């Protein structure tokens, strides 16, 4: 197999790149010769990432913090005024039980800030630079739970449903501007954060590879692993499939 041609000077910016799917994107794009910039909340993980992939630029940024996103974006765009690929990946799922009397003490809307509002702020902050690089691409990582909700993750599901809707609308808005929008809807991904969870898991590397292939082929959605059956299942037996996913 011939090595992948290196796209000299192309720039990719990734949120949540210190672990999981984000780290897999860093690895793949670094290998393809991109100038890779990423952020996270854990300095130790970011330092390790920079050691593993020399040349990758890292910074601290919490995507639930609008001011932090804008400061990070301003710094990146000042140095890289054109961004060829923007990846919105950061976020996480919490298990919340709304039958508990203390639910209001658990900051129940935190996942809306990190998984939805933060993702929208992230894309908005970088969009001028992405448009300047046209033809360019945006990758939005949502979840299989963006199509059918998880009982154990109600707010996470709500956030991902919202982000899926945003990705669809953004794709239409940018259609005439040379910017593609590819949504990635992974199932359970094999990362340390879900080591306690049972069930079939896909690798972060496979998700990133499928996503980048989809971008190259102009596809609007990627359904890794078992999620590939969801669109068909929800058409043929929606109640049954929603019940199965709800219990997963």
Residue 88 domain boundaries: 11-246
Residue 244 neighbours by CB under 8 Å, 6+ apart: none
| Cα three-residue angle 242-244-246, rounded to 5 degrees | 65
Domain count, the chain: 1
Asked whether residue 6 is domain-assigned, the answer is: no
Residue 47 neighbours by CB under 8 Å, 6+ apart: 58
Flag whether pLDDT at 33 surpasses 60: yes
pLDDT of residue 244: 93
Could you tell me the CATH number of the domain that includes residue 92?
Answer: 3.40.50.720
Coil, strand, or helix at residue 60? Answer: strand
Asked whether residue 63 is domain-assigned, the answer is: yes
pLDDT of residue 199: 64
Asked whether residue 2 is domain-assigned, the answer is: no
Banded pLDDT at 91 (limits 50, 70, 90): confident
Asked whether residue 5 is domain-assigned, the answer is: no
Q: With contact defined as beta carbons under 8 Å apart, do 96 and 154 qualify?
A: yes
pLDDT digit string, tens, across residues 156-191 = 999 999 999 999 999 999 999 999 999 999 998 877
Asked whether residue 99 is domain-assigned, the answer is: yes
Asked whether residue 39 is domain-assigned, the answer is: yes
Whole-model pTM: value is 0.92
d(Cα 164, Cα 72) in Å, to the nearest integer?
Answer: 24
- Cross-strand bridge partners of residue 181: 138
156 a catalytic residue: yes
- Peptide bond before residue 135 is cis, with ω within 30 degrees of 0: yes
Alpha helix stretches (DSSP H) within the chain: 20-31, 43-52, 66-79, 110-111, 118-132, 154-173, 204-216, 230-236, 238-246
Given the residues 34, 53, 156, 161, the one annotated as active site = 156
d(Cα 200, Cα 194) in Å, to the nearest integer?
Answer: 11
To the nearest whole number, what is the mean pLDDT of the chain? 93
């Amino acid at each position: 197999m011939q090595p992948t041609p290196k796209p000299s000077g192309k720039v990719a910016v990734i949120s949540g790149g210190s672990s999981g799917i984000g780290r897999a994107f860093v690895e793949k794009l670094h290998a393809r010769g991109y100038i890779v910039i990423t952020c996270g909340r854990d300095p130790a993980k970011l330092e390790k990432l920079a050691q593993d992939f020399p040349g990758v630029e890292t910074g601290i940024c919490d995507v639930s913090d609008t001011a932090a996103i804008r400061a990070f974006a301003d710094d990146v765009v000042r140095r890289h005024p054109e961004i060829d690929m923007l990846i919105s990946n950061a976020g996480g799922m919490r298990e919340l039980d709304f039958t508990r009397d203390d639910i209001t003490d658990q900051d129940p809307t935190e996942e809306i800030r990190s998984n939805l509002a933060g993702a929208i702020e992230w894309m908005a902050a970088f969009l001028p630079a992405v448009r300047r690089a046209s033809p360019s691409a945006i990758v939005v990582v949502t979840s299989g739970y963006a199509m059918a909700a998880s009982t154990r993750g109600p707010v996470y599901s709500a956030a991902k449903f919202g982000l899926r809707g945003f990705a669809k609308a953004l794709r239409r808005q940018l259609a005439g501007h040379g910017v593609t929008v590819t949504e990635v809807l992974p199932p359970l991904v094999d990362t340390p954060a879900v080591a306690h969870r049972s069930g079939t898991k896909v690798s972060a590397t496979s998700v990133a590879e499928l996503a980048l292939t989809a971008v190259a082929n102009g596809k609007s959605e990627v359904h890794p692993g078992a999620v590939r059956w969801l669109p068909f299942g929800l058409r043929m037996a929606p109640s049954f499939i929603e019940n199965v996913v709800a219990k997963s």
